[in-house]
Each structure stands twice: as C-alpha cells, then as structure tokens.
Amino acid sequence: MRKTERTIKMYIPVIVASLIVLVSCFCCSKKSEQPAWKSANDDIVRQYGIRERIRTDIPDTKIIPNLQPGVIASLKNLPETEIASGVKARMYWSRGALVSWMTFSPGAEIPREKLTGERIMVVMKGSVEQLINGANVTMRAHGSERMTPISGYRELNEFVYLEKGAENAVKAGSEGAEILDVSCPVRPDYLKKAGVRKVPSTVSAGGFIAAPTIAPGKVYDLYNVQFTEIAPKANTRLIAGKGVQLSFLRMDPNTAFARENQPEEHLMIVLRGSIDEILLDSVDQMQAGDVAYIPSGMVYGGSTGPYGCDVLDVFWPVRSDYTEIMARKLAEYHAVIPEDSEIELVVDGAKKGPGLCYCEGPSWINGKLYFSSMGYDDKWNGFPDKSATVEMDPDGTYRYIATGMETNGTFPLGNGNMAVCDMFGHRVIEMSTKGNVVRTLADRYNGVRIDGPNDLAVDDKGGIYFTDPQILPKPFMQPGRSVFYRKPDGKVIRVIEPGTLEKPNGLILSPDCRILYVNSTPDNFIMAYDINADGSLSNGRKFCDLYVTPEVLDAKSVNPQVDGMTMDELGNVYITSIIGLQIIKPDGDMLGYIHFPLMPVNCCFGDEDGKTLYVLCNDKVYRIRTNVRGAAYTLKR
C-alpha cells in the first residue's frame, strides 16, 4: 500500500469525528437560534390541538422589537421620545410595524417629510391639520362625553392612510392633539430619535400582495367602519394597508377568546376595560394602557370580565384570514345597504319650519312622512303643550297637523288613517292624516286605565300591539310595564305580563305577522315571540344580542338605549340605539350598523318604492337609500 493511501486511511476516523463535531455544532447553533419560549409553545400547540398557519413571505427586517416577547408592559412606563418640538411619542414596535402614541402641544407640528413607508394615522383627541395630497385637511376627534338621545352627541375619530412616498406634515389645533401613528416598515429615523443603536439605514417592507381596505389620502371616521365578528362576541373594526393591519377589537362582557397563534407578528394594547390575557401557559390581567408584543407563532388568548374590553391589535403582515371574513361580511351588508349610499339630512328642525323637538314614531303614508315631535327637557319631563304630530313632504317641508298631545308611535291603518300612541292621554287613537282624532282605539285593560302607550304595530288582521313602559309621571294605574294587544273586535288583552321585560319599548312584526319582536330599553337584546291565532304570544326567546358602546360599559351597564324598530321585506330588523342603527338578520346575527351624525331614535321605510330608510335623530330627520323595501309594504290590510 502506498504511503499516501495509508495516510488517508489513518486520518479517516479523525475526519469523521471532526465532521460529527461540526454537524453537532451547527445543529446546536440552529437550536440556539430558536427563542426561549418556543419549546413550551410547541407543547401548548399540541396540547390544545391548535391549527397553525404558515407563511413564507415574511422577511428578516433586522429590527429588534423593544418589548420582551409575551411579557406585559405599560405604555406609560415606556420612554417618551421627542419627534419634533412640542411633539412627544411613546413607541413600541415589532420587526415590521411601529406604533406611536403622539401628544402635540397646541400648534406643535411635524414638518413636511416624504414617507419612506406606509402610514395610518388616527386622531384620538383634539384636532390636527394633516397634509394630504398637497393640501392641509382638518381632522378631528371627540367622544369623551356620553351620548344621549336628548344631547344627540356622537363619537368621532377620523383617520387617514398614506402610502409610501406621500408627503406628510401634521400640525395640532389650538387645544393640542393626541394621535395614533402606525408605520410600516419601522421608521429608522424614529428609532434613532428613541436612542436605538445599530439601526439599519433601510428596512424592508416585504413584498406583500394585500390590497389596502381603505383608499389612500381619504379621511374616514372610525365609527363608520363596519364590525367584523372574528370570534363569538368579539367584533373588530379592521383597517389595513399593504403590510400592516389595525384591528380595533371589542370583546363583550364575559367573553372568552380561544387560544390561537398566527404567523403574523402582533402588537397589542388595551384601550378600555381589562382582559385576562393568556400568553403561552400563563394568565395575566391586562388593564387599560398595558401593551404586549406577541411574536409569530406564539400562543395567546383571553377572557373578559363583566364590563368587556376594547383592544387595539396591530398585525404585521396583514392577516388575510381577517380580511377574508371582513370581505364576506361587507358583501352581505352591501347587498342591503349599497356601498355608495350616503346619509342625507332631510330637515334640521332647529333651523327650518315651526320647530321640532324629540322626534319619534315615524310612518310613511300616501307619499308623506308622519311622526311625533315630543316636548322633553333634559330630565325627561314631558310637555304636551310643546308637542305636535307632524306631516313632512319628501323635500323636508313639514307642518303640524295636531298639537297639545304628546303623541309617540304611529302606524298606518288599512283605511288611510293611522294608529297613534297618545301617551299623556293614556290611550291609543285613530288619527286622520289631517290630524283629526277619529276615535279612541284602546284606553283600558280590565277596566283600568292604561298608563302611557309608547310604540305600536298593526297586524294584517287590523289588530294592534302596543307597549306601555310606564315612563310617565306617577301614579301608575297598571301593575307594571307590559305589552298589550287590541284585537280587531276592540277587546284588549295583555300579552306580555308585568315584570317580564324591564322596560318594553319598541316593537315590530315579521313580514308574515307570525313573530312579534320587542325590545326593552335598558337591555342589550331583542325578544321574539310566536303569535297565536287569538293574538296572544308564546315561545318567548332571545332573538339577538346588541352592540353597546364603551361609555355604557364603563358606566357598569349594558344599556344600549334601544328605542324604535322597523323591518324590511327580507325580515331584517332595524333598531335604533346609542351606537347607531343596528341591522339584525332573521337568524339573529348582526348584519351591520349605520352610524348617524346624531343618536337615532326611531325609523321607518318610505318613498314611492319603499326603499328609503327615514331615521329620526333628536330634532333632525335623515334618510338613506337601501336595496330592500320595508316590510310594511308587504302586509295585507
């Protein structure tokens, strides 16, 4: 054997051993690159059978998040960074998105700049002048006061999406401002301002193909964004650019969000309430202002207490599963409310005509809208002498047809007249469209005077259902708040007994007159009842839950302040509430809602084709076109 061959054979074991060491070192090195939480996370995934999604398009941006993975921190404990003179920010970031909560002193501004990535900005308080397409646009926010039917106040948070390369500048109004600023990719200049060392000069945004859910350079109101249900009793308003997605999540009281994980990184902050947040195998309560960074693949979940929770989640990249759910939901909603439909102010009763007060009980009869203008003060004291029954033309011209009665609900009768609730008169009357009282339809039950009929609905036999929530001054004559039915022969029976509902208010019939829907003002649900042959009710059950606002939940209540209802030919129920006009599908699921400039009080369908929804808001009347007709047009009278 030649010397060379002997030498090679002699070193084979050494070479093999060296290779084993090298492979072992390489494997250990790869293993050490796995995050410390990964092993426990894998066990949890197996334990709960969590289905994992995989993405291969997420780049390594070389950005190191400033929050520890899965560790709860407080926004107020994060350092303040001066972005510009008079502009300070508390910031947290993932590898691909940066969230800045900025506070502006009065008149402070961020000078004109060219954006190196996309940006979503939401005004949280005050007002700003935002540069959009070369012009300054005023953007506002308000919402700290509680909205009521009397005040008519509504919340507002305007936002805008700007694309990479757009010119940006922001200047606060005279009272200062607070904004939420989300950038994708992470802005290196902001990291440098925050004192971060070794910041990449450029950061990859990723080559994502997601289409933004909003148009660039257009100002929106957050409260006009439809809710998307992503889990039972967990609804979110989604706003997405090409690479980043904002999820304004509202979790109802006593709601659980099942454990999940996803390949998208996740920045979370609690905006209101609290949540017992599951991060890996621990449960910690997060209060308002607490933040967390949930990296790709980490298991999380949570559950809320009796007052629910509002959360802002920022995902990078965009969660396609969320946008797909949103797209399906919007398609269903726009089949009923066209995408191009806009709310139109028909008349402002504070500025035009003889004057309107608290508008209620609308009906469309022979080409005109009839409703009640109810005199109330801010303590809900009623004044019949300041009240009127009103007739309005489609152009907004209106007139009083009856005065001196505090009427409320109205409903068309088959003979061209209308049934009307005369609250302070303790009766239901038949009134002509000229305002003449034709006769009393109901004023007693079992020989005892009814208290204050509020709302009513007429069935296809001519029978009348009406609520008596006892909202008039005492003394009351009836033993409690009830719902009655006046049979076609004039006999009055009680169909919902006192104590069944806390304060029965609005009611409406299904298109086939087989189901009666009733709401109770303090409750966040609608009841449904089957109608028997004699007009009595049976099989009372909860038809649906309703959305409530953060202000209501913060007041330790679930009162959505529901009032009037109407229905379309498909069986969708429309109910006015503090959050807007909520639309419920026949199966009890939420179709969507319409956010009006003021809190809506009552509504009905009208116009020649029956496809215009008229909505009464305090002293104003609005309308919006729909793709469906009102159910009242399908009833046979």
The ranges of the chain with pLDDT < 50 are 1-32, 144, 633-637
> Which pLDDT score is estimated for 17?
37
Q: What is the pLDDT of residues 301-335, one digit of tens each?
A: 999 998 899 999 999 999 999 999 999 999 999 99
- What is the residue type of 242? K
User: Strand ranges (DSSP E) for 463-589?
Assistant: 464-468, 482-486, 492-496, 504-509, 515-520, 525-531, 537-545, 565-567, 573-577, 580-584
- What is the residue type of 538? S
State which H helix or E strand residue 13 sits in. helix 3-32
> Which pLDDT score is estimated for 151?
65
Ordered DSSP codes for 401-418: EEESS-EEEEEE-TTS-E
**Percent of residues in the chain assigned helix, strand, coil, to nearest 5:** 10, 45, 45
Q: How far apart are CA 281 and CA 276, in angstroms?
A: 12
Task: Annotate 77-108 with b (16+ C-beta within 10 A) or e (fewer).
Answer: ebeebebbebbbbbbbbbbbbbbbbbbbeeeb
Assigned token pair, 95: 């590898």
Q: How far apart are CA 451 and CA 335, in angstroms?
A: 42
Q: Is the peptide bond before 59 cis (omega within 30 degrees of 0)?
A: no
> Which pLDDT score is estimated for 146?
52
Asked if 598 and 606 touch (Cβ cutoff 8 Å), the reply is no
- Closest by CA position to 238, among listed 333, 310, 322: 322
The position carrying tokens 């805008």 is 160
> Which pLDDT score is estimated for 130?
98
> Which pLDDT score is estimated for 578?
86
Phi-psi region of 567 (alpha: psi -120 to 50; beta: other; left: phi over 0): beta
415, with CB counted inside 10 A (0-12, 13-18, 19+), is exposed
Q: How far apart are CA 304 and CA 420, in angstroms?
A: 44
- Closest by CA position to 562, among listed 482, 624, 507: 507
Q: What are the residue ranges of helices labelled H in 218-348?
A: 320-334
Strand order, beta sheet including 456-458: 456-458, 464-468, 482-486, 492-496
What are the Cα distances from residue 273, in Å, to 223, 267, 269, 406? Answer: 19, 18, 11, 40
Q: How far apart are CA 336 and CA 569, in angstroms?
A: 11
Assigned token pair, 235: 């609804």
Asked if 149 and 599 touch (Cβ cutoff 8 Å), the reply is yes
Q: Are strands 234-240 and 167-184 parallel, antiparallel or unpaired?
A: unpaired
Asked if 600 and 542 touch (Cβ cutoff 8 Å), the reply is no
> Which pLDDT score is estimated for 238?
98
Assigned token pair, 573: 């129920």
